[in-house]
Amino acid sequence: NEGALWGARFASGPSPELAELSRSTHFDWDLALYDLAGSHAHAKALAAAGYLTADEEAAMHAGLDALARRVQDGSLRARPADEDVHGALEQALIAEVGPELGGKLRAGRSRNDQIATLVRMYLLDHARTIAREILRVVDALVAQAEAHPDAIMPGRTHLQHAQPVLLAHHLQAHAWPLVRDLERFRDWSVRASVSPYGGGALAGSTLGLDPQLVAGELGLARPAENSLDGTAARDVVAEFAFVAAMIGVDLSRLAEEIIIWNTREFGFVTLDDAYSTGSSIMPQKKNPDIAELARGKSGRLIGNLSGLMATLKGLPLAYNRDLQEDKEPVFDSVRTLELVLPAFAGMIATLRFHTERMAELAPQGFSLATDVAEWLVKRGVPFRDAHEISGALVKVCEQRGIELHEIDDATLTQISPHLDPAVREVLSVAGSVASRDGAGGTAPVRVAEQRSELVARAQAA
């Protein structure tokens, strides 16, 4: 078992099947630069505690720097005999600085505390990248809202016409969950910014190394409070996977609407050619594949979260090899979002809205019936009666196949003496929207205020 991190007490090396099963370098090599950063910090702690002379420490840092350059230019890669990124890099270090010095770095640390630290560093970095991409989607939604300040669309509940709303209000309603996802990452990063390094395999170290020094060197806020928890906990990884899945679900709900809006029947939007795809057989097709892939990949993000939770369930303390299974799902969630978000932002930014089509549909389906009821309330009619009167009006219009504003004066008073022709003042979608000026409502003034608040929250996150 030449070059492995263990083996002295074994009579033979691992069987080829075990080596094959055990190997993780095909995914944990993504952590190589974090592993080297951990080694730099650990070398400082060893030197501070008197286990490396100043010359040895300098040679160690130089050797680790050389490895980092080779990882970056691709000339250093894991070999088939390497079990994991930690073993591969120790071998490379020994080749670089010699066995005497290279063999000193492993004192006081274990792959268990290393991996728990590295995965946090990786996720903290990628949370920042993903947050930047989410901001681009939010910006695209805000820009579209700004470009269409007065456009009115049918607002729906149960996918049925409900009440007219501003397109800007609707677009901003999709931006808020994404802003909360940014805030989720910010809250999560406080819990994630912890260094288990120095916890050793599970019980801590006898060598008097300074865990605060290591945490500081790695840009983490503080060392783990408990060495068992530090090496065994993966709630921080699971929470990241949850935020990733939530982002996926938030995008998917918007994607679903874009797919519906893009149908011939709705005709609310046209996708830019650069952000839609064709069909191999039907020459006329222009498909919303970005929205569909976003919707589809949200299933994968949810799967990564549930798979990880299933792995963690029932694991006794402290480290178990099962924990190696945390990385592939969460790395996949990172890659998935880093792929989907830029395409999604481009699709939103280039979407063309057909506001005349939305305006045409907005008053249909008796969407102003609530306005009639509330107009009656303002004239002193109890809402219970107002609801009945407005409902009776809808019934008559439905029977005659007309919209509310097409009703004649005589029929109005016949339905109820409260319904005099003045009610027509609320039978316009623009009037309806403008009058919903309570907090968080769809009136243009409220929507513009809300947009400033949205932008401020997005920037603060």
Interaction between residue 24 and ligand ARG (CB under 6 A): yes
With CB under 6 A as the contact rule, the residue among 188, 261, 268, 319 that binds ligand ARG is 319
In the bound complex, what is the minimum distance in angstroms from residue 6's beta carbon to ligand ARG? 8
Selected range binding ligand ARG among 43-51, 109-117, 224-232, 383-391, rule: CB under 6 A: 109-117
Q: How far is the CB of 204 from ligand ARG (least distance, A)?
A: 16
- State which residue, 158 or 321, has the beta carbon closest to ligand ARG: 321
**Of the candidate residues 82, 84, 113, 181, the single one contacting ligand ARG (CB under 6 A):** 84
User: Taking CB under 6 A as the rule, does residue 331 contact ligand ARG?
Assistant: no
324 binding ligand ARG? (CB under 6 A):
yes
Please tell me whether residue 111 binds ligand ARG under the rule CB under 6 A. yes
Q: How far is the CB of 327 from ligand ARG (least distance, A)?
A: 6
Is 57 an interacting residue with respect to ligand ARG (CB under 6 A)?
no
22 is catalytic: no
Catalytic (active site) residue 174: no
Query: What does the H/E/C string look like for the chain?
Result: CCCCCCCCCCCCCCCHHHHHHHCCHHHHHHHHHHHHHHHHHHHHHHHHCCCCCHHHHHHHHHHHHHHHHHHHCCCCCCCCCCCCHHHHHHHHHHHHHCHHHHCCCCCCCCHHHHHHHHHHHHHHHHHHHHHHHHHHHHHHHHHHHHHCCCCEEEEEECCEEEEEEEHHHHHHHHHHHHHHHHHHHHHHHHHHCEECCCCCCCCCCCCCCCHHHHHHHCCCCEECCCHHHHHHCCHHHHHHHHHHHHHHHHHHHHHHHHHHHCCCCCCCEECCHHHCECCCCCCCCCECHHHHHHHHHHHHHHHHHHHHHHHHCCCCCCCCHHHHHHHHHHHHHHHHHHHHHHHHHHHHHCCEECHHHHHHHCCCCCCCHHHHHHHHHHCCCCHHHHHHHHHHHHHHHHHHCCCHHHCCHHHHHHHCCCCCHHHHHHCCHHHHHHHCCCCCCCCHHHHHHHHHHHHHHHHHC
Q: Which part of the chain contacts ligand ARG (CB under 6 A), choosing from 71-79, 173-181, 323-331, 436-444?
A: 323-331
CB of 330 to ligand ARG, least distance (A): 12
CB of 196 to ligand ARG, least distance (A): 12
Piece of the chain touching ligand ARG by CB under 6 A; list 133-141, 165-173, 208-216, 318-326: 318-326
Of 12, 75, 158, 280, catalytic:
158
CB-nearer residue toward ligand ARG: 35 or 250: 35
* Member of 112, 195, 298, 442 binding ligand ARG (CB under 6 A): 112
Does 231 participate in binding ligand ARG (rule CB under 6 A)? no
Nearer to ligand ARG, 146 or 322 (CB): 322
Q: Which is nearer to ligand ARG, 327 or 446 (CB)?
A: 327
Using CB under 6 A, list all residues that contact ligand ARG: 24, 28, 84, 111-112, 115, 319, 321, 323-324, 327
Residues with catalytic function: 158, 279
